Chain A
């Protein structure tokens, strides 16, 4: 099994701990009511993290399989869909963005285009009315749509 992943992780975490500790040295306050101040706890944590990570570097375990290239691409696509969904969520409104996001996500999870589109429409309509009518949640409407008609 592959043990390099744990070694790399250990090293990354040590760097992270060092960075956190270095940043913590700058948590200066003119006056603190408690003797410990805001600095000590984060620095202690960084120290513990560094020690534990060192153990990981010295005695790495094996971990599971990593995604191959096509899978990594697909994971990236799912993330991209979620990110674009977030970007346009307030601008284009819930109904339109959700319709697109659900359809594309369903398609990425191996539904046929037809099924994906049906899922998209059904889920958007149902959740929209569930959230706004039954639960009284205010969703971004995308006012630009009504301006068109």
Chain B
């Protein structure tokens, strides 16, 4: 059963892949630490470059995954030191992390958060190793009808779990799916929404979409933040270390929140930000007996850090086994697989064990490397926080331009990227989060083709969509997810 893992370690331990995992871990930590460049931006910007280098798919994926996990480590730095989350997953880290830094405990806070990140990620990677092959085996039986039901479930869970405003999350996802319908319809050859432009015939390219939506809109947002103050200095770091006493005190917290983060990560569409929030509120309920959470409690710091790193590993479960991304970042990684013409899904473990196993094995290695890097070098990584925006922004712009240009060699793609960037900026200003849009975009094509395939099997009878036990279960789960948050409080109130 663990053949894939043994083969995976053979792949991941080759000098090239080991080097790439280390390189990705360092780069990811930097990306996570830099405010504004989260894991999605980092991966989006580097994906075209990794592709051009001609790396084999497993190597490219190993590097990109290391960037992802590294960014979850790095995101905590600006949360703790500056009270500015480095990425969405680290929002809850500010609550107890920054008060600790203000008390002069920045060093121990960084140390403990590195250890919690490590513990959370380790729990989740072990979960991934045990759980993913089983799920893949079960998923082999999924036909188009079941896959369609699964995507409906994914969208339902995304609307409920992601973002503050479920309506806006849903609208964002629909917009993403609609953008995915642009281009020639593969089964009939009809042009859809192409405005007669040849460049749009193949649809909007994922890389253009991601870089526009995230990197370009980020540039515009940063301009606003840049003008609004900022530029405060770093608090003194002190020595970055952890004492056994603290680790022992946070032991239960790390374990619980690691497990919780893993489970949240598996749910399609819910990423690190949800995991961090769920873990923090749960942990506060369980262990905040003296009311110290929010004033610099080490457990309040360990909870979201264990959870967001665990969710990163957890979100690989649906991606590798079902082809459905568990988070915005895995949606981008899925796009990277598609660049290589690898169909992610249940067959990945049996047909491309070197990709699935190599990735999982590299997560073990990367995680160890991240702990080893982050304890002694935290001070060094923290330095990047003072990189001024006027250096950061032009660098993002250059990488975005070169990345898109060398994949497409035409300017139309760059114009499109800028246009999408403006759209992304407007959506963000209107209170949308962009992860649903990119998830809708990635899932949209699969959703339509599975629906149409299912209906051509049944000859047009919609009943096929809820015929098997699996699809019925998925539909019920989806409806329950949508209805329960609304219904449950009311029922409870009536009960009392």
Contacts and interface: CB of A to CB of B under 8 A. Distances in A.
B455 to A, nearest CB: 5
A49 interface: yes
A78 B219 contact: yes
B10 to A, nearest CB: 27
B52 A137 contact: yes
How extensive is the interface on chain B, given as a class?
A: 35 or more
B452 A41 contact: yes
A52 B390 contact: no
Contacts of B455: 34-36
B406 A138 contact: yes
Interface size classification for chain A: 35 or more
Contacts of B289: none
Interface string B187-220: 1111011000000000000000000000010011
A17 to B, nearest CB: 9
Contacts of A49: 171, 174-175, 178
Interface string B219-233: 110111011000000
Interface in B382-406: 388-391, 393-395, 397-398, 401-402, 405-406
Interface stretch (B62-70, B359-367, B414-422): B414-422
Interface of A: 5-6, 9, 13, 20, 23-24, 27-29, 32-38, 41-42, 45-46, 48-49, 52-53, 55-56, 59, 61, 63-64, 66-67, 71, 74-75, 78-79, 82-83, 85-87, 89-90, 94, 98, 101-102, 105-111, 115-116, 119-120, 123, 127, 131, 135-140
Given A89-B411, A109-B393, 11 more contacts: A29-B188, A34-B452, A34-B455, A34-B456, A36-B456, A36-B460, A41-B448, A52-B167, A90-B411, A102-B394, A123-B395
Interface of B: 49, 52-53, 165, 167-168, 170-171, 174-175, 177-178, 181, 185, 187-190, 192-193, 216, 219-220, 222-224, 226-227, 388-391, 393-395, 397-398, 401-402, 405-406, 411, 414-415, 418, 422, 429-431, 448, 451-453, 455-456, 459-460
